[in-house]
Every structure is written in C-alpha cells, then in structure tokens.
C-alpha cells in the first residue's frame, strides 16, 4: 500500500527570479532554502551539464500519432433533460446519486442565498455555508440541470439526501421541456437520526418511468480530440539537490542546454509510446531557449511539444496576475505556436494551464478574449474536474492525483461529465478528458522536504493509476512526470530504476491503444 501521510503538494514551483537562477551554475551541493509555509522549495541554481551517458538508439522509432485535418466522427446520444431544485435551511446539505452512471451530465443553472460552496456533478449536488449566515439568509438553494440517459429510464434514480444537525432540505425534480417544467417528484426532508444527531440522511427512489410516454432528446456529438495521445510532463529546469542521498540520476545526465541530450530524451520517450512532452514553462530566456531546442529536435519525428504554463511560479505568493499571464501566453503563441512540432488542436496552439482555479473563469475568459482580439488564439486545458470549465477551456486535466482512494471511480465520473457536458450547453462539441498517471511521489531532494510519500511499489502504483486512467476511456493520458527527479515522479531511465518504467509505459500504452480499436 502507498504510504499516504497527508495531502501532497501539487507541483514544484519556479520563482519569479528564475532568469537569474537558471543562468548560473555550481559544482557543489546547492544551498536550498524554503520560505515558511511553502509547499515546495524555490529552485537552486542550475547545475553544470554533465556528459551524455547511455543515449538511446534512434533506430525503430515510429511516430505513434499522426494528426490530420479529417473531420472527426459524431456519435448519437438519447437523453431526458431534468431539473433539480435543491434547497436547505441547514449549514450544509447534499444529494448523492447512487446510480450516477445514469446521469450523463450536470450543470449549475442558478444559486441563491450566498452559500459558501455550491457544487454539482453527475454523482453529487452540495451546498454549504457558515452557521452564522443562517440568521441573515435562512435559505440557500441550487438549481441544477441534468441529462439522464434514455437507456437507463426503466431504472429509478436512487438518491441519498443528507444535511446538518438542524434545519432540513427540499428537492424538486422536474422534466425540462423547452422553457416549461413538469414536476415529477417533490421531497421535504427534515428527519434527524437520533443515533447520529450531527447529521441526517434519508434514501429515496425517484421513479422516471413516467417519462416513457415522452420522446427523448436526440443529439449528435462530435469529439474535439484527434486520436489518442500519451503525454509526459517535461522539466527543462532543475530545482532540487542533486547530491541528496535520495536523489536519483537520469542515465542521460543533467544537460538542459545540450541539443543532443534533449533529442535523446525525445527518442527515449517515443520508444516508450509517448507522443509528446508538456513542457513546464514561463517567459524566461533560458526556458525559451530550451523550448526552442526541444521543438527543433522534435521536428520531423512526429513527436509533439506543448507548453505547461506555470501560472503562479513564486512559491511565496501564489497570486495569479492576469496581465502577466496574458502576456506570457501572447509571447508563447507568437514565438512557438507556428513551429511544425508544436501541438495544435482545432488549428490552435495547445497550452495546458497549471492551477487554473487561481482565477475565476470570468478572468480567464477575459484573458482569452483579449488575446483573440489581437489575433492570438489558443486551445487551453484547465486543471480541474469541474465541467463548468468547458465553457471557457477546451479540456480538463489534473497535474497530481496522488492519494485518491478510488481513482478509477473518480476518473469514470469525470470522463462521463466531460464527454456529455455539451448536452446541457449550446454547443454540440465535446471537451477533451486527459487522465493523469503517476509512478509515485517523494520530494526528499527538495530542502526542506515534505513528509508526504507515495511508494512506487516496484512499479505497481504506476500500473494501478495507468489502468484506472485506461478504464475511463480518456481522450489523452498524461504522465506526471518524465523527468521531475526532485519529486521522484520521473519515469525517464535512471540509475536507480534503469529502464523499468519505460517498459511499463510501453506495455500499458499499447494496451490502451488496442482497447480503442
């Protein structure tokens, strides 16, 4: 079992002074310090490049993905649009859908009463607010539209209603026909369990067979993604102590400015079935140079490169500054977006966004609109499971999924919500679901390290996360990471693990692609 001790830091961070730090070199162990409260330390100086060792062969490397402009096929969906109005007078309340597989999509329509949190997914609707707010705003509500699969109509919708120790909740379920509502069921839930006075729960069966006399809504959905792609997060910077006892070493050595080393990384990744690198990036001269070298090395190989945007790189201040981020994106689109090796989606350069929830969706929409007004359009992925992000972004992903007690179930739910999110919007186009896999986690080479560790279990942890991703039938899979040796999430060939993780990657990538045929 993985040694899960507390929630993991999400990602190594790059400070704003990166240009100065990366321009230097040192031969001894770096003096790495971390401001109080930082999840991960700031980077040390980059180290003197070492001699390339054990470069992989160039023979036998065949691009595993070839992108074309062929129109993507559509697939049919029949469903019933329903509306749920959920109200509570307690400090928290939720509806849990036991047979959530019947619900293809869920979308928040309205929220009243200023709750602290109001969330909806295909498996749960929730409200919460401070107890102190109950006197001024005694009622909070959330209105959610859901799409129920017509194939599941004979089965009732099984719901568990829960709320806090006082007050109650109410649920109205209606059929949504154009702009009119047909009430199907109303439930008022005030019961409190005397054996568990801190919470109240009740189970209901919502009969949907009354809809059988109605024609289901029919939709033809079109996938946005090209054929399946396997990505790995790539780090062109070094921020960890290379001399720590727990530090592993890449067989290719540390040489982020050596074109031959970067080309060898690409060859190794391709031989493992990986289609592209998501390159950790912000607008910095050293990173720009290394990204350009990677793009040139990938050219004519079929390997793809895209940016993983570091939105809040200062570990002492995680504030996202929209004007700064907007200009970083503008620079990336202008300078790198037209390179033949740069990944384009729907003919727009692809950018994955780290910590996208550091700004509300309205801010991201304003940024993207301002860029588009300058003739700079991109395709963007949010770091979120919330399908509401697909109103602004083209796809969803997470950087880290360590410690999820049931990753397969999480992925199934997210995949379903992404795949069918457009049923409740004005666009027939689907977003893209990219599932993340990990070999493990231990950031002991950073100083000071966290106490959180996820054991690799001789590759079994990597296999489990990879198989959980495959089971969700994702459009893409992301490996975190190719070469973040500081957090020991790397799968690149190394002194400690040899070529073990490339072998596992090749095997599971082939399994995934075979299942999709």
What pLDDT, on a 0 to 100 scale, did the predictor assign at position 493? 98
Of 432, 428, 403, 406, nearest in space to 417 by CA: 432
Q: State how beta strands 395-397 and 432-437 pair.
A: parallel
The pLDDT of 271-276, averaged and rounded, is 97
Residue 258 has pLDDT above 50, yes or no: yes
Q: What is the mean pLDDT of residues 271-284?
A: 97
Over 50: is that where the pLDDT of 7 sits?
no
Q: What is the mean predicted confidence (pLDDT) over 202-229?
A: 85
The tokens of 156 are what? 């009732």
pLDDT digits 0-9 by tens, 92-121: 999 999 988 899 999 899 999 989 999 998
Q: Looking at residue 330, what DSSP letter applies?
A: H
Q: What is the pLDDT of residues 468-512, one digit of tens each?
A: 999 999 999 999 999 999 999 999 999 999 999 999 999 999 999
Q: Six-digit token pair at 195?
A: 């054996």
**Beta-carbon neighbour count of residue 474 at 10 Å?**
26
pLDDT in tens, 445-459: 998 878 899 999 999
For the ranges 161-165, 199-203, 236-240, 401-405, the lowest mean pLDDT is seen at 199-203
With beta carbons less than 8 A apart as the criterion, state whether 182 and 175 touch. yes
8-state DSSP, 212 = G
Q: Say which residue the tokens 């999509």 belong to.
A: 105
* Average pLDDT estimate for 198-219: 85
If you average pLDDT over residues 334-347, what whole number do you get?
A: 96
pLDDT band at residue 40 under the 50/70/90 scheme: very low
What pLDDT sits at residue 51? 30
Nearest to 120 by CA among 385, 358, 429, 409: 385
The stretch 19-41 carries a mean pLDDT of 31
Is 254 within 8 Å of 242 (Cβ atoms)?
Answer: yes
Q: Give the burial class of 49: count Cβ atoms within 10 A of its Cβ; 0-12 exposed, 13-18 middle, 19 or more buried.
A: middle
Residue among 501, 379, 398, 383 nearest 440 (CA): 501
Mean pLDDT of 167-181: 89
pLDDT at 424: 86
pLDDT digits (tens, 9 = 90+) for 414-456: 998 898 888 887 766 678 999 999 999 999 999 887 889 999 9
Question: What average pLDDT does the structure give for the chain?
Answer: 83
- The C-alpha atoms of residue 368 and residue 252 are separated, in whole angstroms, by 38
> Among residues of the chain, what percentage have pLDDT more than 90?
61
């Amino acid at each position: 079992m993985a040694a899960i001790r507390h929630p993991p830091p999400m990602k190594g961070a790059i400070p704003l002074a990166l240009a100065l730090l990366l321009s230097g070199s040192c031969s001894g162990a770096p003096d790495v310090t971390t401001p109080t409260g930082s999840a991960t330390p700031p980077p040390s100086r980059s180290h003197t490049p070492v001699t390339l060792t054990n470069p992989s062969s160039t023979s036998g490397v065949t691009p595993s993905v070839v992108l074309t402009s062929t129109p993507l096929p559509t697939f049919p969906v029949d469903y019933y649009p329903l509306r749920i109005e959920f109200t509570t007078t307690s400090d928290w309340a939720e509806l849990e859908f036991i047979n959530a597989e019947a619900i293809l999509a869920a979308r928040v329509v309205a929220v009243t009463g200023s709750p602290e949190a109001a969330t909806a997914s295909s498996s749960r609707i929730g409200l919460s607010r401070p107890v102190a707010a109950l006197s001024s705003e005694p009622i909070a509500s959330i209105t959610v539209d859901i799409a129920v699969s017509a194939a599941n109509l004979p089965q009732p919708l099984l719901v568990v209603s829960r709320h806090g120790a006082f007050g109650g909740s109410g649920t109205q379920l209606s059929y949504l026909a154009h702009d009119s509502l047909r009430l199907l069921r109303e439930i008022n839930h005030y019961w409190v369990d005397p054996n568990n006075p801190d919470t109240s729960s009740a189970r209901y069966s919502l009969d949907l067979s009354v809809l059988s006399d109605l024609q289901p809504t029919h939709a033809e959905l079109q996938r946005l993604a090209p054929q399946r792609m396997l990505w790995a997060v790539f780090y062109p910077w070094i921020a960890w102590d290379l001399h720590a006892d727990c530090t592993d070493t890449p067989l290719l050595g540390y040489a982020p400015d050596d074109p031959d080393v970067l080309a060898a990384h690409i060859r190794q990744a391709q031989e493992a079935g990986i289609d592209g690198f998501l390159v950790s990036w912000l607008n910095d001269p050293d990173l720009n140079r290394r990204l350009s070298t990677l793009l040139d090395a990938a050219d004519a190989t079929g390997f793809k490169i895209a940016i993983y945007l570091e939105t809040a790189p200062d570990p002492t201040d995680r504030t996202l500054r929209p004007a700064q981020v907007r200009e970083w994106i503008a620079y990336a689109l202008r300078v790198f977006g037209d390179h033949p090796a740069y990944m384009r989606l729907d003919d727009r350069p692809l950018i994955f966004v780290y910590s996208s929830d550091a700004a509300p969706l309205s801010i991201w929409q304003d940024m993207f609109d301002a860029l588009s007004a300058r003739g700079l359009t991109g395709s963007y992925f949010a770091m979120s499971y919330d399908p509401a992000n697909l109103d602004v972004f083209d796809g969803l992903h997470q950087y880290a999924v360590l410690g999820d007690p049931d990753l397969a179930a999480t992925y199934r739910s997210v995949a379903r919500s992404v795949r069918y999110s457009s049923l409740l919007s004005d666009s027939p186009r689907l977003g893209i679901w990219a599932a993340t896999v990990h070999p493990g986690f231990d950031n002991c080479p950073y100083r000071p390290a966290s106490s959180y560790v996820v054991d690799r279990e001789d590759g079994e942890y990597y296999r489990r996360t990879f198989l959980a991703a495959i089971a969700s039938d994702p459009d893409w899979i992301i490996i975190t990471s190719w070469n973040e040796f500081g957090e020991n999430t790397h799968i690149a060939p190394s002194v400690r693990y040899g070529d073990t993780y490339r072998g596992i990657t090749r095997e599971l990538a082939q399994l995934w692609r075979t299942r999709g045929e």
